Chain A
Amino acid sequence: DAKTTQPPSMDCAEGRAANLPCNHSTISGNEYVYWYRQIHSQGPQYIIHGLKNNETNEMASLIITEDRKSSTLILPHATLRDTAVYYCIVRPRRDKAAGNKLTFGGGTRVLVKP
């Protein structure tokens, strides 16, 4: 799986958009970008994923650069409940469960301030 680099922490004002960057310069053509987050003392929560097109769902938007070497997760209107560690993961889609284990790096610790 390709290595990812994320800033260790960032602050965001409540009600503003939070833009979380992720670098994945060694990404392969068949690798997807996934985002999960983990609120303190809870299990990780899936947010969104994409291959090359930008994606949006009810939680967030994912913007992937044309060369696919980096991406940005956008939380459009951050709330205090969005305070969490956000993990960017790059890996191919695998059919067998054996290949689907998740490995989280350090992630970005996001603090949403009132």
Chain B
Amino acid sequence: DVKVTQSSRYLVKRTGEKVFLECVQDMDHENMFWYRQDPGLGLRLIYFSYDVKMKEKGDIPEGYSVSREKKERFSLILESASTNQTSMYLCASMLSGSVTQYFGPGTRLTVT
């Protein structure tokens, strides 16, 4: 079974803090994604990566950056957290050529 893990299930940070969200997958997938999910807005893509050190912006990259130094790990960075970044953050991975995305359990981030 594919396993996608995220570093924290719940996180509380203060405005202005730098926040790191980590995602690790164990199935050698080339593609990894970061989404956020908010009530009424559905799932929105922040960034994705199709290979090590490769990244592309999704629909809402502002205020975020990412890092993919190793194939299995994809990090989402909030350089200076703001209250409007309070959300559920979901990481997913996908094998190239496949149609299935495998999601992690999510990190519920609250910025106060």
Q: Which residues of A contact B (CB under 8 A)?
A: 32, 34, 41-46, 49, 93, 95-98, 100-106
Contact = CB atoms under 8 A, between A and B. Distances in A.
Interface string B1-37: 0001000000000000000000000000011010100
Interface of B is mostly: strand
Contacts of B31: 97, 100
Contacts, number: 62
Nearest to A49: B99
A106 B37 CA distance: 12
Interface in B58-73: 58-59
Contacts of A104: 42-43
A34 B94 CA distance: 15
Interface of A is mostly: loop
Contacts of B94: 97, 100
Nearest to B49: A97
A102 B99 contact: no
Contact of B106 (A32, A34, A43): A43
Contacts of B33: 97, 100-101
